Amino acid sequence: MSIAPVTLPGVADARVGSVGLGAMGSPIAHNFSNAIPGLRVFDANAAAVDRFVAENPSAVRANGLADLAGCDVVVLSLPTSDIVDAVVLGDEGLLALLRPGSVVVDMGSSVPARTQRLAELAAQRGVALVDAPVSGGVARAREADLAVMVGGDAHAVERVRPLLEATAREVIVVGPAGSGHAAKALNNLLAASGLVAAAEAMLVGAEFGIDQATLLAVINAGSGRNNTTETKYEKFVLSRSFASGFTAQLMRKDVGIALDLAREQGMTIGLGEELGRIWNEATEALDPGADQTEVVRYLEGALGAVRPVGEDTPGPKSPRE
């Protein structure tokens, strides 16, 4: 996909850095590299930087955070708030290195309250913090087709919008700092709920003997369809590939963030709490790097399924089976 060069408002010859070259960070940085010549890239894994620079010749290796000191914008694609804090705070963190007027963009799934606090600390140094988590997964990241939900100061958001649009199908401004991360967690709460609900329905159908592809077609033609049934189930579950590109551990983290957010509002959400229980048990039972769709494998065992989804189903059970 061809991406037009980006000009950031009020910044001539913008210098942009990207920290984090994991499953999502790498394709996002690739899109930025297509739009911003001389993108500076850093990852704690030196091999990831080697690979990225080899595949993106216009990118510039950063050997440490200090090499990003001259950047106007630094984008973070990191897995947790703890890691974000480690990169941004401290004597050798980004806030100690960047000049006033710079912008830090957190595109990971961080804790909203911690994002709000980080934005306050950044503002004290004259640096803006924008939270801009994404939805769409690795495949859509590679196509620069992500949905980006943004929180932060309106002026800072508009400054980085052209950069975000280089990797996005849609950029949605949610509200002040932390709002983007809150929206992302709530979105993933729904996504995880949809996966579990779809799996339970499909497993019951399999036990009854309904052909799984047929049942999936029924659901997708009816009112029960959701993102899991439309985009994940056939490709990653029925095929038994379990390779959606997003781990069960990361989804567990996002579900936990959403549940904590609800509790902070004085709310107990029953379905969400039950989902959290199921997802915690599943994640503990699966291998550490298991894909989110492998939660179906856990449910097969937990529900006593004798006909795993994706296997041939010989027809409806008789009442005596």
Q: Which amino acid is at 222?
A: G
- One of 184, 232, 235, 317 is an active-site residue; which one? 184
Q: Which amino acid is at 239?
A: S
CA torsion 268-272-274-278 (nearest 10°) is -140
96's CB contacts (< 8 A; 6+ apart) are 90
**DSSP secondary structure string for all residues of 215-278:** HHHHHHHSTT--HIIIIIIIIIIITS----SSBHHHHHHHHHHHHHHHHHTT---HHHHHHHHH
Active site residue 184: yes
Chain centroid to CA 98: 26
Tokens of 191: 């996504």
Residues 255 and 280: their CA atoms lie apart, in Å, by: 10
Contact 315, 209 (CB under 8 A): yes
**Span between the terminal Cα atoms of the chain, in Å:** 54
Position of tokens 């509002």? 265
8 φ, ψ (degrees, to nearest 5)? -85, 135
Contact 19, 76 (CB under 8 A): yes
* Strand pairing report for 73-76 and 60-61: unpaired
Chain centroid to CA 75: 14
Count helices and strands (H / E) in the chain.
13, 9
240 φ, ψ (degrees, to nearest 5)? 65, 20
Annotated active-site positions, please? 184
